[in-house]
Amino acid sequence: MTTRFPTQALHKRSLGIVATTAAVMALSLTGVGAANAADRVSFSHSVPSWATSANDAGAAPTGETFEGEIYLPLRDPQGAEALAKAVSTPVNAAFRKALSPAQWINRFSPTQADSDAVVSFLTTAGLTITAVPASRQYVVFRGTADQLGSIFGTSLHSYTYAGRQLVAPSTAPSLPSAVGVKVSGVSIEQSRMLTKPNSIKQGDLGASAEPQLSRRAAVAPVVTTPCSHYTGENVVTVPPSYNGQTQYGTYNCGYTPAQLRSAYGLSDLNTKGVNGSGQTVAIIDAYASPSILQDVNTYSAANGEPGLTNSSYRQLVPKPGEFTDQAACQFPSGWQGEQTLDVESVHGVAPGAHILYVGGANCGGGLDVAMSKILDNKLATIVSNSYGNAGEAIPADVIQGEVNLQLQAAGEGIGLYFSSGDSGDETARLGYPSPDFPASSPWVTSVGGTSMGIDKTGKLAFEAGWGDAVDQIVKDASGNLVYTQPLPGTRFVGGAGGGASAVFAQPDYQKNAVPAALANGHRVSPDVAALADPYTGFQIGIRPIINDDTLETGGFVNETYGGTSLASPIVAAQIAIVQQSTHTSIGFANPTLYSVNRALPNSFRDVVPQNPTRAVAYTSRVSGNSYLVSFDQDTSLKTATGYDSVTGLGGVSLSLLSLVAQGRH
């Protein structure tokens, strides 16, 4: 499998003259003689594509520090990729013969001397080092805009991109050749501050769908829609819709852990003790909930589930005083629901599994540090990551640094599961279609989303692609119920991410499995799918943070969540159950998943367009507005028979996962 970057993203290093007085002074201050100022390595592929003159909003703010990260190259990148492929491919003699962390680091990681040289240069220059992992693949640091600009021979500006103001170098950063030749990439820009949780709370319809909520009281609903605990519990009358249908079920109150286990065929196994015991699922997010263990146990007791203990749940998290970039990363409160959703869904599907939560100090380099803590000590073989960037607009050097971590995971037999995103094809935010990185990488398992109906008996009633469009229901002048727009409505309020990558070539495992019209020679995500729709979502219990400064929490509440942030931990929990039942560590699963699909295509639960279109009625508790929520309306991404860019190969099943664990193909 080949990682291919566009021509402009190839890792070429050019030597250039930096003759500015500021640069010479910086070199002198850092112990590098002015005579060597002309001898510098330029990192042109460390500048993000959005750092253009058209987006330039002026000099970066002074008086605050910014995070930077230097990536060091692997000693044998081709060998690391070959190993990752060999230990993950069923037909290879090295299948599942993974290396230990120490073996992988000794064979592929940058040398200690090179890492020390980079650290010494940065500290001598006056920057603060915040992290260096045991694998020595990167160094995370902080400095002011002036410091970073002087040390790296550039200037930092603010740029307007994706609705945010992000800092980036205005020209290619550079380093003195003595240290620059030891470096593969420099990140002194904020692409990764766009990384966000891929979760959506039920009712998040967007400001334009819920107008002026702060300035008026909720109106009396035109359709009263009590939530349903199972599909078909409550049925209401709406205007004629698909095939003239006027009777629709209402939105879900939030499925319980028992309902999820039942729908996924895990209930009988659970009663026999096949519930993930002996397995550890690691979860990575930013920051840390101050009430997570208390919340999970309150929630579990209310649902008749076993609680978590200090032995079944542990976390490696920074102290609150070490949290950084909180405003840029949506604050700890913005990630608390994500962590709670991840932990409670893993525990709900695999109640016997141990859970390790590793929190980043922010949503940038902090997530790398969290990942390295797991990889460098092999603390788990299953890692769920419910976050993603807005598309792939990250500098190529940074992407390669992230891919190197993914190669380490695969080489050590660790499976990385990433949510595919919640914004469909991202056109609304970016102006062009794009999958989200890291889910778009060929070295991770990308998890897409479905809308799922579970009936009164706990069986799967229907499954559609997750892509919600809402159409408001109002009364016309005659008092008749009508829609404000032709169905399904013009308001897209969330759907699984996916599509063809602009960065990565098609991996071997996707060849002849993904339609050529979708791939066109590129990696396409997602790979598999699970429940993600918040209107057929999962109930969580949480004491929400009400003060991000003190991390004070409010009272315990139940909320209903969805997003591919739900789908990823569901799949991770299923993998834990299969590893327990088969005494096998699956590792990077994609080559086996696609191999099984070729031999036994019916082993996946194919998610296809529903006829008629599936929908539910929903009334906002905030505004009182009533809507018909139509499923499988995911922007330009469409479900289809076989592989598609909403659900990948389809939904996973226990029999499928057993085949994966056994390496059958």
Of how many residues is the chain composed? 665
Local confidence band at 241 (pLDDT 50, 70, 90 cut-offs): very high
Q: For position 653, what pLDDT does the model report? A: 74
Q: Which of 3 and 221 is assigned the larger pLDDT?
A: 221
Q: For position 205, what pLDDT does the model report? A: 82
Three-state DSSP at 491 gives strand
- Cis ω before 488 (30° cut-off from 0): yes
Kindly state the average pLDDT of the residues 394-404.
Answer: 95
Q: For position 63, what pLDDT does the model report? A: 84
Local confidence band at 664 (pLDDT 50, 70, 90 cut-offs): low
Kindly state the average pLDDT of the residues 13-40.
Answer: 40
DSSP state string for 17-37: ----HHHHHHHHHTT--GGGT
Q: For position 655, what pLDDT does the model report? A: 63
Q: For position 38, what pLDDT does the model report? A: 65
Q: What pTM, to 2 d.p., does this model score?
A: 0.92
Kindly state the average pLDDT of the residues 523-539.
Answer: 98
Strand ordering across the sheet containing 14-16 = 14-16, 40-42, 174-176
List strand residue ranges (DSSP E) for 484-608, in order.
491-495, 499-505, 522-525, 528-531, 538-542, 545-547, 552-553, 557-562
Local confidence band at 15 (pLDDT 50, 70, 90 cut-offs): very low
**The tokens of 35 are what?**
């005579």
pLDDT digits (tens, 9 = 90+) for 69-126: 999 999 999 999 999 999 999 999 999 999 999 999 999 999 999 999 999 999 999 9
Q: Which of 457 and 197 is assigned the larger pLDDT?
A: 457
Q: For residues 299 and 568, give the distance between their C-alpha atoms in angstroms, rounded to a whole number.
A: 21
Instruction: Answer whether 72's CB lies under 8 Å from 118's CB.
Output: yes
Residue indicated by tokens 């692609």: 465
pLDDT at 147 over 90: yes
**The tokens of 167 are what?**
């800092």
Q: What proportion of the chain, given as a percentage, has pLDDT over 90?
A: 84
Q: Which of 623 and 297 is assigned the larger pLDDT?
A: 297
CA nearest to 255, candidates 632, 567, 493, 540? 540
DSSP 142: E
pLDDT at 262 over 80: yes
Angle, vertex CA 164, rays to CA 158 and CA 165, nearest 5: 15
Residue ranges matching CATH 3.40.50.200 in the chain = 200-662
No. of helices (H) and no. of strands (E), the chain = 17, 34
Local confidence band at 416 (pLDDT 50, 70, 90 cut-offs): very high
Q: For position 544, what pLDDT does the model report? A: 98
Q: For position 621, what pLDDT does the model report? A: 86
Local confidence band at 217 (pLDDT 50, 70, 90 cut-offs): low
Residue indicated by tokens 């706990």: 458
Top CATH class of 200-662 equals: alpha beta
Arithmetic mean of pLDDT over the chain:
91
DSSP state string for 253-306: S-B-HHHHHHHTT-HHHHHTT-SSTT-EEEEEEES--TTHHHHHHHHHHHTT--
pLDDT digits (tens, 9 = 90+) for 600-632: 878 889 999 999 999 999 999 888 999 999 999
pLDDT digits (tens, 9 = 90+) for 34-70: 334 469 999 999 999 999 999 999 999 988 999 999 9
pLDDT at 215 over 70: no
pLDDT at 427 over 90: yes
Instruction: Answer whether 427's CB lies under 8 Å from 83's CB.
Output: no
Q: For position 501, what pLDDT does the model report? A: 98
Q: For position 652, what pLDDT does the model report? A: 82
Q: What proportion of the chain, given as a percentage, has pLDDT over 70?
A: 91
DSSP 458: S
DSSP 250: B
Q: Around Cβ 272, how many Cβ atoms within 10 Å?
A: 9
pLDDT at 228 over 50: yes
Q: Which of 599 and 294 is assigned the larger pLDDT?
A: 294
Q: For position 654, what pLDDT does the model report? A: 64
To which H or E segment does residue 664 belong? none
